[in-house]
Structure 1
């Protein structure tokens, strides 16, 4: 464990032994994740994260932020992100525009599709399909969403808008879909 300001001794560096996971003493997923805290690599990280989450969820003064980046919506985590908001598991959502955009796209009934990550991009282009690694979306439907967002922007009073304000307007539209993250944040 890192110690700020001083060089640790050998005894300090070797003070926390690895405790081998004993599945015969594991009765639940909670037991398993708790056991992860005492083993190595990403299992320990997962166990630590579970402890942080448990502490946050039981602290009435805690404000929980969800920070999302990457292709989480096309990757299949849209409802998970929505549920975090719907069930009050997070207080603040901070995401990239792509997460909100793909959510808006799906709020219109459009889908993402699985594909092989080696699918030929030129062939996909011929079909107006966009690829995010191993996931596809319809470019024509993206353009429909783009047009709707442009019309929304044109309908607003001309002034600067924060991303939160603009997403509120998008959320009003997306709220027709009960599985929409942006719509749930709006509601």
Structure 2
């Protein structure tokens, strides 16, 4: 009988394909260049148009001198897609004041810093993918080795967090935890 851990931690087969990636907006000079990325963004690209319409209203208010606080909320699947780069640019440019995300959003960001996800297909045999050690997020493929690599970093990071919390005498807040994770990534990657 196959043990669950043997399925979850099964070594993944190599996946060839197009890496999931969005445009880094500092590096593009035209709308056409942005649109060239759409086939690599993954399943969330259609919602980008809706977000642009909301954003136009924000910019109109800012142009009138009105103070607007922008909260950006998303789930981990947004980071799994190529919209990750767009979110990073928005934050870098000060267009977003507050991010509200899931723990999975932080995890997926870390994993994509290690290795890319791969553009797949909506019409695949999930059982066959599982046998190959490939996870599927819509039309995005994530080989198990991405998660295994992530675990290698997280055990020492959690030990570091424990030491910090012992020194402080209290737990880190969620934002402090994420800040420490960012520092750790800068050191290790």
TM-score for the superposition, normalised by structure 1: 0.62
Partner of 1:167: 178
Compare 78-87 and 163-172 and name the one that shifted more: 163-172
TM-superposed CA distance for 1:170, in Å, is 1.5
- Within a 5 Å distance, the mapping from 1:81-96 to structure 2 comes to 81-96=87-102
Partner deviation per Cα, 1:135-167 (whole Å, 9 max, x = no partner) = 011212212202312220112224422221111
Q: CA deviation at 1:80?
A: 0.1
Matched, 1:118 2:129: no
TM-score by length of structure 2 reads 0.61
1:155 to 150, 156, 160: 160
Aligned to 1:17: none
Higher helix share: 2
Task: State the distance in 2 between where 1:46 and 1:130 align.
Answer: 28
Larger C-alpha radius of gyration, 1 or 2? 1
Residue 53, structure 1, aligned to residue 58, structure 2:
yes
For residue 171 of structure 2, give the secondary structure of its aligned residue in structure 1. Answer: coil
Aligned residue pair count: 135
RMSD: 2.9
Q: Deviations over 1:41-73 (max 9, x none)?
A: x9xx77862442224433463322211124112
Q: Is it true that 1:128 corresponds to 2:128 in the alignment?
A: no
- Give the secondary-structure state (helix, strand or coil) at the position aligned to 1:151: helix
Query: Which sections of structure 1, spanning at least 5 residues, go unmatched?
Result: 1-28, 30-41, 178-182
Q: Kindly indicate whether structure 1 or structure 2 has the higher relative contact order, using CA contacts under 8 Å at least 6 residues apart.
A: 2
Distance in structure 2 (CA, Å) of the matches to 1:166 and 1:80: 23
Alignment of 1:12-161 (within 5 A): 49-58=54-63, 59=65, 61-108=67-114, 110-156=115-161, 157=163, 158=166, 159-161=170-172
Whole-angstrom distance in 2 between the partners of 1:46 and 1:72: 13
1:122–1:140 Cα change, 3 Å: same
Runs of 4+ in 1 over 3 A off after TM superposition: 45-48, 55-61, 173-177
